[in-house]
Structure 1
Amino acid sequence: MAACRSAITSGDVQQIMDRLGFSATIRLDVDSVIIEWPAKLSRLSDTIDLKTRSVGVVVVADGTWNSAVPGERPPLSKGLFVNVELRAMPLEGRIVVPRSTVRGGSLFVVDEDLRLRIVPVEAGFSQDSFVVVRDGLKPGDQVVVSDLIPAIEGMLLAPTRDADLESRLSQEASGADTDAQL
């Protein structure tokens, strides 16, 4: 594999972000009251934090002074400690699994004979408590989500569907429920 560096303009970055459908929400917590402003992803920071392996972003909210109400809704001003939520268009056709099910680059799945198979997978990215599987799993595969002790490949299983976990995973992966706990 070879790697190279290239420079792109801030306009190019903005075009890429627009195509990916990024949106942002700025949230301020004042005495347990959440105040929100819609925002737009403006640009990426020019530095990368090597410790957290993250890059900063700059978001812009227009008209925050116009929506200010003294004593109820402050304007968004420099120096406030806020949370920023970034969203992008969902990636269609991806398979997501709970993070806890990926063990050493493999998943436990139930085969057509109701037997345990250990399948190597290639993870794409992970977020919160889920992992997007890039390769090794196909739609309809049954993933074992409980701990099997001992886990012996070929052992007979009696799988049951966890509809609650499926629902929470779907909501979190789609961005519909940012507070989901898996």
Structure 2
Amino acid sequence: MTRKKQIILPIVILVIGAVIFIALSSMKKPPEEKPKVDNTPIVAVEEITVAPLTLTVDSYGVVTPKYEIELVAQVSGQIVELSDTFLRGSFVKKGQVLARIDPSDYKAALIDAQASLASATASLEEELARGKVAKEEWKRITNASPTELSLRKPQLKQEQARVKAAQASVLRAERNLERTYLRAPFDAMIESRHIGLGTFVSTGSKIGKMLGTETAQIRLPVADNQLQFLVKQGHAAQVNLSGDFAGQNHVWQANIARSEGVVDDKSRMSYLVAEVSDPYGLHAETENTPLRFGSYVNATVLGKELALAASVPRHLINKDRIAILDEESKLQFVNVEIVSEDGANVIISNGLKTGDRVIVSALDYPVDGMQLALPTSDDAVTPDTETNTDTQIASVKD
């Protein structure tokens, strides 16, 4: 009996233990399954728009008149007349009388020259008559030949010379009388006046300074390596000028008239000269904003036209390659051809097409062909910089 108890008791204990284990196991909750974590890098992209693009070169300059002169007196005398328009800032027309020097002495000189001419003309006519008489007398003489002196030819030449000298004196006196009128040589604006009513001036005295209003010009410095972006190095290129007038920004149209053809020995820049016709709008049918002399303007010179090109941020380019997201959402490096630089951007002519998605966010370890993902509404990926890829005119900075 005791032996049976020794055998049965452990078995009972094992059975009870098994039952308890099974009961406890049935009460235990199974472990929760952890969701799968997607470690695909999320990137931000911007679609590229490839379109016709015009390269430009930026410059700057100061507006100056194409023609400016110091008006000087060509005869001496006292100023007896002064035009009301002969004032600083006034506009005058070509040929307009600005002032007049006392003409009394020059009128007297003209009368004297005319009198001398009349006397010389009379002497010439008298000598012509004497020559005819001498010629008729020598016709009656048959045994000798007349000389030049006997026919009074030297005397005739002398009288003819006196007439020419008298004519020259008349022309000189008329010219001096005309010079008592101080006239504007071209359409101009008065910059300064150095005389007043009653002022005595001598030959060569400065009367005033005049700025031609027909054409304004602006010297535009351009780096030598920027000329490659202009057609014919900028000859006859169109220029957009921008500057301030009355507190507002305005734009004027100009054209490159010429290149100075030398490189400045200090700045090492080439200079293009832009011209603007009628800068003050004096001949315009409608009121235009004047482009004043002395104004500082920024200039955009239009250059070569590219059939297809795009502008992208410079920092996205690495060794002439750019990262895009292909149709399978994989990273792909594309070789591009850089035409020029546009400030913080570069101009690309080959390698991209409209609709390409350029990756604008940073990747720690980019590998060609790696799987990427676009952000969902709950994700936020900030591009490195804002990019404007739909640019039609690209500016090439110096």
Same fold? TM cut 0.5: yes
1:10-159, aligned counterparts within 5 Å? 13=232, 17=235, 22-30=237-245, 32-48=247-263, 55-67=270-282, 75-77=291-293, 79-88=294-303, 90-159=305-374
CA distance in 1, matches of 2:338, 2:296: 34
CA distance in 2, matches of 1:111, 1:157: 10
Matched, 1:169 2:367: no
2:314 touches 2:344 (CA, 8 Å); kept in 1?
Answer: yes
Can you give the 5+ residue segments of structure 1 that lack an aligned partner in the other structure? 1-11
CA distance in 2, matches of 1:143, 1:50: 44
Deviation at 1:74, TM superposition (A): 5.1
CA distance in 2, matches of 1:51, 1:111: 51
133 and 36 in structure 1: CA distance in 2 versus 1, 3 angstrom threshold: closer
Secondary structure of 1:24's aligned partner: strand
Say what the alpha-carbon RMSD is for the aligned residues. 3.8
1:130 touches 1:169 (CA, 8 Å); kept in 2?
Answer: no
- Supply the AA of the counterpart residue of 1:126: E
27 and 131 in structure 1: CA distance in 2 versus 1, 3 angstrom threshold: same
| Structure 2 partner of 1:9 | none
Deviation at 1:88, TM superposition (A): 4.3
TM value normalised by structure 2: 0.32
Deviation at 1:56, TM superposition (A): 3.1
Secondary structure of 1:93's aligned partner: strand
CA distance in 2, matches of 1:24, 1:60: 9
TM value normalised by structure 1: 0.62
- Supply the AA of the counterpart residue of 2:332: R
CA offset digits 1:34-66 (Å, max 9, x no partner)? 243221122334245799986432211111123
2:311 touches 2:348 (CA, 8 Å); kept in 1?
Answer: yes
Deviation at 1:83, TM superposition (A): 1.1
More helix by share: 2
Secondary structure of 2:307's aligned partner: coil
Structure 1 consecutive aligned stretches of length 4 or more whose deviation exceeds 4 Å: 48-54
1:48 touches 1:55 (CA, 8 Å); kept in 2?
Answer: yes
2:336 touches 2:351 (CA, 8 Å); kept in 1?
Answer: yes
1:110 touches 1:141 (CA, 8 Å); kept in 2?
Answer: yes
* Worse-superposed segment, 134-143 or 37-46: 134-143
* Worse-superposed segment, 140-149 or 49-58: 49-58
CA distance in 2, matches of 1:55, 1:136: 33
41 and 107 in structure 1: CA distance in 2 versus 1, 3 angstrom threshold: same
Secondary structure of 2:371's aligned partner: coil
75 and 143 in structure 1: CA distance in 2 versus 1, 3 angstrom threshold: closer
13 and 103 in structure 1: CA distance in 2 versus 1, 3 angstrom threshold: closer
Secondary structure of 2:389's aligned partner: helix
